[in-house]
Chains A and B, each alone.
Chain A
Amino acid sequence: MALQILLNFIIAVVWMFLHNEWSFPRFTIGYVIGAAIMGLLSRIWPHDFYLKRAWAVIKLLILFTKELFVSSFVVMGLIIKPKLSIRPGIIALQTELKSDWEITVLSCLICLTPGTLTLDVSRDGRTLYIHAMDINDAELLSQQIKDSFEKAIMEVTR
């Protein structure tokens, strides 16, 4: 992955050498040409084409922002409701993610989803303990959301 980005940079620099012109537009053109070449030759690499993964990262960021907005409005709605009708609780969630980095991103995402907050991660890293603000619908709903999060994170990392 890092190797592919480095190679793309080198192609862009070679393009600037060929034109003997050191400017940002020339670099951009060279970078686009390099990306096109590497996209065509992507099957000789052991990993996927790296722009595919960059797109997955952008999708994850968009998801992050969307969830932040939704969760803030849900929490604010619960706060200004005249009668406090919440049933908080702690639920366990099994996760299939393995590396520390993936689990950190997942727990940050959970912290920003509606009515859930990561409380603890078990020592083997297989279970997340989540404090849910409203447990009635949270169990089903959060399961759904976390499935989509896990899938989005897996698209980035493997």
Chain B
Amino acid sequence: MNAKVTIEIVVGILIMSGTVMSLLSSLGIIRLPDVYNRAHASTKSATLGILCILLGAFLYFFYTHGVSSIRLLLGIVFVFLTAPVAGHLIIRSAHRSKVALADISVQDDLQDYLDSEKDVESSSTTS
């Protein structure tokens, strides 16, 4: 087994696993009950899937064409940095616009905090 075959196998594994992860995260978006749990699926597994696919593409072009595409690496860094922030912002705005949770266990924490903050605001405006 020469080096080229090894590289092709590694690239194949990377791209296949990335595709499977993306598929599973889209399944999670269909299957999970509410927006918060769907955000779990879409931020984590989809991020890792895209990372694997981009890494596979980078390795392929690096070894077969001798091109080290910095843009792919930058893409990995940007996806890595922005995906959790996007998930955070989406579920934060969902909670602010009072989207209900599915089967709630300890929902009270944030709602209590928001209510107490509102009380402070309203009392300060009236006084």
Q: Do the two chains belong together in a single complex?
A: yes
Residues B40 and A87 in contact, CB atoms below 8 Å apart: no
Residues B28 and A79 in contact, CB atoms below 8 Å apart: yes
Residues B88 and A107 in contact, CB atoms below 8 Å apart: yes
> How many Å lie between the Cα of A44 and that of B117 in the bound state?
48
How many A-B pairs have beta carbons closer than 8 Å: the answer is: 114
User: Given A69-B48, A87-B105, A89-B105, A111 and B37 touching (CB < 8 A)?
Assistant: no
Residues B95 and A119 in contact, CB atoms below 8 Å apart: yes
Q: Is the interface of B mostly helix, strand, loop or mixed?
A: helix
Query: Nearest-CB distance from A134 to chain B (Å)?
Result: 10
Of the candidates A68, A87, A89, A123, the one whose C-beta lies within 8 Å of that of B47 is A68
User: Which residues in window 70-127 of B have CB below 8 A to A?
Assistant: 80-81, 84-85, 87-88, 91-92, 95, 101-111, 113, 117
User: Given A75-B28, A79-B24, A88-B36, A129 and B43 touching (CB < 8 A)?
Assistant: no
Minimal Cβ-Cβ distance residue in A for B117: A123
> How many Å lie between the Cα of A89 and that of B95 in the bound state?
12
B21 within 8 A of A: yes
Of the candidates A84, A111, A127, the one whose C-beta lies within 8 Å of that of B113 is A127
A10 within 8 A of B: no
> How many Å lie between the Cα of A122 and that of B110 in the bound state?
9
Q: Which residue, A68, A91, A122, A131, has most C-beta atoms of chain B within 10 A?
A: A131
A115 within 8 A of B: yes
* Chain B residues in the interface with A (C-beta under 8 A): 21, 24-25, 27-28, 31-34, 36-37, 39-41, 43-45, 47-48, 51, 80-81, 84-85, 87-88, 91-92, 95, 101-111, 113, 117
